[in-house]
Structures are given as C-alpha cells and as structure tokens.
Amino acid sequence: MDKDTLTAWALANGWQMIAGCLSLTKPSAPKEAIVRMQLKATVVTVEVKKPAGKWEKAASQPYGKLVADEETGMPRGLGFEVIPGFTMLMRDNRDRQVFAKMTGG
C-alpha cells in the first residue's frame, strides 16, 4: 500500500483528518483524537493517546510492508487486525459520520 491508498482506505473507514493526521475519536468526544496515523515519507506510524495526554507509538511499518486484506481492504501490519478495539473504534467513527450526513449534521 502507498500513502494515497492508505489515506483513501482510512477516510472511507471512519478516520478523519485532525491536526494534519488521520485520526479516530472517542464516541463521547468526537473532536478529540485518541488514535492517530502519521503518514511520513517512508513509514506509517500509529499512535494511541494515553489517559495522561501523551501519545504512545503502537505500530510503525514502511509502506512496502503494508498489504491490504483481500476481504476488508484493511492494511495488515499495523496491528488493526489483532486488536479488536481498533475495529470497533473505526466502526463507531464511521457510523457517526454516516448518521451525521443523514441528519445533515
């Protein structure tokens, strides 16, 4: 996967741009990022915000090592497939975006 493919996948799956990073938010605080994906020149870094407010790196991979899942399109190699919390958080964010469009919000 390259940067553009990864960005397109993320935006279609509930991620949004916050402060220049693809981000997921808490359902109770939709303006505050709690997971972010930094797309650097050669690597992708996934960071999780700790309760104290500090960002901690959860995964990092070069673009060349990321492969889209054949069924879901989800990138393999960043931990999304093994940590169920990421999948649920992406679903919550995507659902909130869809419902906001339906209600005009």
Tell me, what's the pLDDT at 104?
66
Asked if 78 contacts 66 with a C-beta cutoff of 8 angstroms, the reply is yes
Question: Strands across the sheet with 29-39, in order?
Answer: 16-18, 21-26, 29-39, 43-49, 55-62
Identify the domain containing residue 82 by its residue range: 3-103
Tell me, what's the pLDDT at 105?
55
Domain count for the chain: 1
pLDDT in tens, the chain (105 residues): 999 999 999 999 999 999 999 999 988 888 889 999 999 999 999 999 998 889 999 999 999 999 998 888 889 888 887 777 888 888 899 888 887 777 765
